[in-house]
Amino acid sequence: MPRPDTLSAAHSSARRDALQALGRTALAWALGSLFGPAAAQGPVLQRWPGGGYPFTLGVASGEPLPGSVVLWTRLLPNPRDLQPALPPQPIEVRWELAEDARFSRGLRSGVTLALPEHAHSVHVEVAGLKPGWRYHYRFIAGGHASEVGRTLTAPAPDADVQRLRLALASCQHYEHGRYAVHREIAQQDIDAVLFVGDYIYEKSNAHWLHRRHLHPLPATLDEYRAHHASYKLDADLRAAHAAHPWILNLDDHDVQNDYTGDLPGVAGEPVAGFLARRARAYKAYFEHLPVSPRRAPRGPHFAIHQQLAWGRLADIWVLDTRQFRSPRACHDPSRPDGRPLLTRQPGFDGPEGLPHAPDWLYCDQVATRGAQTMLGSAQERWLAAGLARSERRWKLLAQTTQISPSGVATPWGRVIYSDAWDGYPAARERLLQAIAEPCVPGVVALGGDVHRSVAANLRLDPNDTASPIIASEFCCSSVTTRGLSELQAMLVRRSNPDTLHLRSDERGYALLDIGPREMACTFRATASPVRADARLHTQARFVVDARRPGPQRD
């Protein structure tokens, strides 16, 4: 909320040193890279009609690099309305960053513009900071100061770092429950939140309605913006953003359920129409999250994949599993979303005495499509080269879903889900070979999407206990979104010896405590649906020895 005591001093200071040298650097980043020369037309405002507190969506930081971090906010005095109340003109916003919460030590500041064509969002990439250092930051606009956020920069690439603590989270359907997970994350002593997709949901499910989206399901740009804004009205989500920098990945629901590359996940939507939707969804996503202006989406294209490092302790690859993936096996335009597939030839008789499985379930393409890809060939090569080159202790693959198998054995054969890595076995094999062939130690895959806590072995030949374990996998449960039934979860556990832990009945996140010798994964969880006052408990804990792949129950 506004703090009048600090406001007048801060505001007059804004006029005095509005564009000091370091501020200019950040301003150039924010405006030059993101908006281009045609942007920022019209008179710049310092106040707007009606006033009103503009920082209703809070503050956030992200993409911690050695000596730099991205600061974010959006000016929106009327967050519950579909149309923003601010005039269509650029508005001056001052940012401040310091080593202490009183903004007295090592103060850095500057002025940037919140532009109407970007929903008056602000992205400032502050460079030249101390590596591995904690900072406080805030924004000032229209006579109001934002709350103070906390962030940190990544350590120097050659720093001998002893710890990296991450909260791994995904899937926060607003309607499926409250954000108690974020309330706990906000209070954790961690270095960053690693959010691996489904920040918003573009769908509703009357079955699990515990609170309502404020607006119609999004299709237009205004609706995607309003959808993002309404998620950020949750105080626990805002607190988790204000407390830590976030490293972000996107998944299907951030745009549209089960889209694959340029193909929509909804029947009847033409490709051109879907790409226009993807552009609107990516733009709204960028406008509401601390993504570097260097990676701002251009139309339907968004540079989601990136590599980050944490001293000599860890490399983190954020992997894009949506934009470059090939169509699913047995793709049916009349039903383009993910579906169960029986990986057999159509007409397979099955066991004597049992009826045929339904014809629509059969698909003999799953295992035969060697060219299929989840990441696209360029991203595959980039990752494989990076893995082979990395000398850091841990190699973390921040992708969006589950790599280890999760199909179900039936009398007719194995049933897999077409949208998961199970539906792309050739792509999975190439990924695993990129780990096994150069014998890359310390690889841990981190995922979400599946709405269940998972600890699993990754083998070159999945589920073949004779095949060596080459890496480890942890998937977090969802913040709120519902998962498999107990029966389904039991069938998946029984059908997959690589799965060491699988719980779908509780919502939660995974707390990752990474050190030079071992890393621990603690699954924090609560009952579903999540209540506002829920307290989380430890559902299970696993450790991975840096010299030996595979999670061990602790």
Q: How far is the CB of 399 from Fe ion (least distance, A)?
A: 14
Q: How far is the CB of 409 from Fe ion (least distance, A)?
A: 25
With a CB cutoff of 8 Å and minimum separation 6, the contacts of 28 are none
Going 344 to 346 to 349 to 353, the CA torsion angle's sign is positive
Tell me if 332 sits within 8 A of 362, measured CB to CB: no
Q: Based on CB atoms, which residue is closest to Fe ion, 108 or 253? A: 253
Q: Based on CB atoms, which residue is closest to Fe ion, 68 or 481? A: 481
Chain positions contacting Fe ion, by CB under 5 A: 171, 198, 481
Q: 502 forms bridges with which residues in the sheet?
A: 454
Distance CA 58, CA 38 (A): 29
Q: How far is the CB of 525 from Fe ion (least distance, A)?
A: 16
Q: 136 forms bridges with which residues in the sheet?
A: 98, 150
Tell me if 71 sits within 8 A of 82, measured CB to CB: no
Q: Based on CB atoms, which residue is closest to Fe ion, 311 or 448? A: 448
Q: Based on CB atoms, which residue is closest to Fe ion, 173 or 501? A: 173
Name residue 11's amino acid: H
Q: How far is the CB of 253 from Fe ion (least distance, A)?
A: 6
Q: How far is the CB of 205 from Fe ion (least distance, A)?
A: 12
Distance CA 105, CA 148 (A): 15
Q: Based on CB atoms, which residue is closest to Fe ion, 253 or 501? A: 253
Q: How far is the CB of 207 from Fe ion (least distance, A)?
A: 15
Q: Based on CB atoms, which residue is closest to Fe ion, 252 or 315? A: 252
Tell me if 197 sits within 8 A of 254, measured CB to CB: yes
The closest of 387, 341, 397, 386 to 367, measured between CA atoms, is 341
Tell me if 227 sits within 8 A of 219, measured CB to CB: no
Helix-helix angle 377-389:425-436, to 10 degrees: 20
Q: Based on CB atoms, which residue is closest to Fe ion, 171 or 304? A: 171
CA distances for 289 relative to 239, 311, 428, 468, angstroms: 14, 25, 30, 40
DSSP string computed for 117-138 = GGTTEEEEEE-SPPTT-EEEEE
Q: Based on CB atoms, which residue is closest to Fe ion, 135 or 474? A: 474
With a CB cutoff of 8 Å and minimum separation 6, the contacts of 268 are none
Q: Based on CB atoms, which residue is closest to Fe ion, 108 or 288? A: 288
Q: How far is the CB of 415 from Fe ion (least distance, A)?
A: 20
Query: Running DSSP on this structure, what letter comes out for residue 29?
Result: I
Q: How far is the CB of 479 from Fe ion (least distance, A)?
A: 9
DSSP string computed for 287-356 = HTS---GGG--BTTB----EEEEETTTEEEEE---STTPPPPTT--TTS-S--EEE-S-TT---STTSPP
Query: Running DSSP on this structure, what letter comes out for residue 153?
Result: P
Q: How far is the CB of 74 from Fe ion (least distance, A)?
A: 24
Q: 514 forms bridges with which residues in the sheet?
A: 164, 519
Q: Based on CB atoms, which residue is closest to Fe ion, 93 or 479? A: 479
The closest of 83, 84, 88 to 54, measured between CA atoms, is 84
Q: How far is the CB of 171 from Fe ion (least distance, A)?
A: 3
The closest of 366, 373, 361, 338 to 265, measured between CA atoms, is 338
Distance CA 417, CA 167 (A): 27
Q: How far is the CB of 481 from Fe ion (least distance, A)?
A: 5
Q: How far is the CB of 217 from Fe ion (least distance, A)?
A: 16
Q: Based on CB atoms, which residue is closest to Fe ion, 191 or 198? A: 198
How many CA within 13 A on the CB side of residue 164? 32
Tell me if 399 sits within 8 A of 248, measured CB to CB: no
Name residue 430's amino acid: R
The residue whose Cβ lies closest to Fe ion is 171
Q: How far is the CB of 251 from Fe ion (least distance, A)?
A: 6
Q: Based on CB atoms, which residue is closest to Fe ion, 457 or 481? A: 481
Q: Based on CB atoms, which residue is closest to Fe ion, 198 or 419? A: 198
